[in-house]
Structure 1
Amino acid sequence: MYYGFDITYIFVIIGMLITLIASWRMKATFAKYERVASQSRLTGREVAERILRANGIYDVSVRPVSGRLTDHYDPRDKTVSLSEVIYGSTSVAAIAVAAHECGHAIQDNVGYVPLNLRSAFVPVANWGSRLSWPIICIGFLLGYGNMSNILIQIGIAMFLLAVIFQIITLPVEFDASRRALIELENNEILFDREDKSARKVLFAAAMTYVAAAATGVLQMLRLMLLFSGRSRRRN
């Protein structure tokens, strides 16, 4: 504490700024290239199907999903889900996003280890993100006893699991974008300078994952500092 202000809130503020900047850049970049029609005139669905077939992947289906930029690949049911603004759009942005999700399908097909690790980590990370803060809050409410410290340690450990998941996600996302750009070139889906535009869209999207991981690490550091200070006051 410094003149009544918790100095560790600086970590929270920095994390918020990083997240806001990354989110703004992603939305601005996508909005820009969402208005640029590709020369191939292929829709997001057609691009996804072409890339999957070119890689000999026939057990993955492409389907529309509600929402905006809710695109994802689910290795459990072998499905590339494309949002409304991607599935039927012929824009450069839509093509880049569709190719990225196919990049995940390719990762799954070749047994890309970081993707398998992330998939296995999902349930653990979900429990960690849901229960960490309630457990930490209960620990604080109990005062300075041993049970309080144990609960706080458990809460911080569970929060760490969620942070680890965000870090594991980074190589998976960057590799999917790398594969997407290769597929767009090999299958002659983009022309002239369109590949540079697609690269900008994918990079902006990747930065949102970097921001999420950085924010998680900062919050983890804040919790560790708060807990260490609490332990010193108890002693």
Structure 2
Amino acid sequence: MKQVVITGTSRGIGFELVKLFAEAGHKVLALSRNEMPVLDLKLENVHSLSCDISESSGLDKAGDYLKNNADSVDILINNAGALINKAFEDISLEEFEKIYKTNVMGVVGLTQKLLPFFHKNSHVVNISTMGGVQGSVKFPGLSAYSSSKAAVITLTELLAEEFKETGPSFNVLALGAVQTEMLEEAFPGYKAPLSAKEMAQYIMDFSLTGNKYYNGKLLQVSNSTP
């Protein structure tokens, strides 16, 4: 049984990850602004916590829960993400900052908060997007989202180097098109070849075993464009 922390669990891939880990017998701390979708599942060994990881109060809330209920964290999946589909010339600075606050600073803040709980074999899996990969196809309207996810890729590589002697391991998955609410926001009407549950299964399997083979690596998980 692993102690797993997952962010962005109210819908899409994060929601499916919670169910898959619970079904496999692991303990899950599910973090999201909206705790109700996971609470309504009434799953054993799953605790759903309403918190905003882009705010220090939300990070403290998650840290306090772990102090009282877990000795260590085996897996952290930084899945939460915010997206705005808007022409660059129309995006306000406040809107741009909001995307970065969730997609970058949320990852930084939660990872720092969980450092005391990690051990040598812990695995941090950051979720990025193909749009954040250098040289990949880019799409208008996604300047804030894709550039913030590119920052997550480089951050992952840096943290793997910084903690290579002590752990945890850090890897990042750049996802292609998956049928989620966020995909609909980015590409209205587009039908993806993979469901949220199918991608969640891949991410779960990778989080459990991928750090045996990879550290500081970007894996492109995509069979289509976008």
- Structure-2-length-normalised TM-score: 0.29
Task: Specify which structure has the bigger relative contact order, considering alpha-carbon pairs within 8 angstroms and separated by 6 or more residues.
Answer: 1
The structure whose residues are more often helix, as a share, is: 1
Highest CA radius of gyration, 1 or 2? 1
The structure whose residues are more often strand, as a share, is: 2
